[in-house]
Amino acid sequence: MSFILSFIRKLLQSMLQLLSFSKRTISNTLSVYIKTNTGNTLSVDLDPKWDIKNVKEIVAPRLGLSPEEVKIIFAGKELHDSIVIEDCDLGQQSILHAVKSRPSPKKPGVESPSEGSKPLNETLIDLQLSDRERKSLKTDEDREKTRAHFYVYCGWPCKTMQPGKLRVRCASCRGGAFTVDRDPQCWDDVLQGKRITGDCQNDGCIGSDDGPKFAEFYFKCAEHASQGEEDQAVPLYLIKSNVRDIPCLACTEVSDPVLVFPCDMAHVTCLECFRNYCVSRLRDRQFWSHPEHGYTLPCPAGCQDSLITEVHHFRLLTSAQYAQYQRFGAEEYVLQAGGVLCPQPGCGMGILAEPDCRRITCINGCGFVFCRQCLQGYHLGECEPDAEGSGTGAPGADCQYNVDPSRAAQARWDEASKVAIKVTTKPCPKCRTPTERAGGCMHMVCTRSQCNFHWCWICQTEWSRDCMGSHWFG
């Protein structure tokens, strides 16, 4: 009988809550999703001026609970009743987690969250400050100036650098119903795993009883609506707010934000000078190809151990410049791996072949067959020295005029005709006479006197029965 009375009391309470809440009007709608620890997801429209108590009043009846039994979790913190929604750094289609309250185990050295505690982004002061600088913050104005500002690369839909939002989930089950025991105090707390523990409210969390559970931090773009829990952005942790008003090492201007190189001196550059630095090194192909960090750059001041390890920082370049950066990086990788680049003009396909293989075919590119040693069309016998570039002047001649090699290569009167010949012809494998195929079959006969070599246009080797059977007519 008592069970029935309790059920009727809860039902009446829920109906009264719905009736009283229906009298509210929403002036500015914020559409969010609320996930429960049972796996259900609710779509709810909220007013940013409401507080978390109002959210509980909406969610509780749908969960069959009273508002006092509901706990709202967001960004690693339990949101208490007095917190206003617009102070929670929520965006359109953000995800809140609603779970049934349960006693949290008391952990040594960890205080229970106090009433009115703010979400993670509200309580977190800037990660770029040292411990001594944090302790020197006295007023709310100082704290507001140094509040955390994160910058990320948003791959979609923004495709550019944007302000970011820090989020957290359980490292075991990757669920968002997770509260941290303490806020991160440095970048290592965010970027490295198993540094901050917490409490996972997901009943299905695997290994929930096997020692402490750890937080996993990640970032979202702050400029577009959330696209679900898998919507993530890459943290550009070298880009920081210039709270110390440090001038740029190149132009000496004080800008905000700035990029701080990972060297011992922590040299600072404005973003425009960083782009110019990258473009100049890219033009001269002076990036470093590191086996772990990829195609990257060090501090321009020449500091040791200052390579940029997160190459997404080079997304600050234009799309055309970044495409060139990727192409150069891929070419350097192929060359360092013992490969070769196709020498045919307009191709440049990277090819990985056996070290002792001399005859290389550009299979996935233009199909050009060339000699690995001299990078000319494949031939029999020894390679001939390249006649181009011979006759560089009188021995000991001293020229003080410096010319950009890439510009010099383009400023040659007969270069266009040479390129055309190289593209439309193939050398005879025996005497290397340029030969143009005007149609017909693939069986070529060198017309040079005293040569008359029979060869295959496809294989660029001596004509054989295999050539006749496989591709005589293409």
CB 9 within 8 A of CB 72: no
- Burial class of 197 by CB neighbour count within 10 A (0 to 12, 13 to 18, 19+): middle
Examine the residue annotation and report whether 441 is marked as an active-site residue of this protein. yes
DSSP-derived pairing of the beta strands 340-341 and 294-296: unpaired
Beta-sheet pairing, 294-296 with 288-290: antiparallel
Which residues are registered as beta bridge partners of 163? 151
Which pair of tokens denotes residue 378?
A: 């494949």
CA angle, residues 246, 189, 103, in degrees to nearest 5: 135
* 21 in Cβ contact with 57 (< 8 Å): yes
CA distance linking residue 195 with residue 206, whole number of Å:
19
- CA 107, CA 179: separation in Å to the nearest integer? 13
State the pairing for strand pair 70-74/178-180.
unpaired
User: d(Cα 393, Cα 386) in Å, to the nearest integer?
Assistant: 16
Distance CA 30, CA 428 (A): 73
Torsion sign, CA atoms 184, 186, 190, 193 = negative
Query: In 202-334, which ranges are E strands?
Result: 213-221, 234-235, 239-240, 258-260, 268-270, 288-290, 294-296
Residue type, 121: N
Which one of 158, 347, 366, 441 is the catalytic residue?
441
Helix (H, G, I), strand (E, B) or coil at 258: strand
Q: Is 152 helix (H, G, I), strand (E, B) or coil?
A: strand
Lookup: tokens for 352 = 């990985």
| Alpha-carbon span 44 to 42, nearest angstrom | 6
Q: Which residues of 350-423 form beta strands (DSSP E)?
A: 350-351, 359-361, 369-371
State the catalytic residues.
441
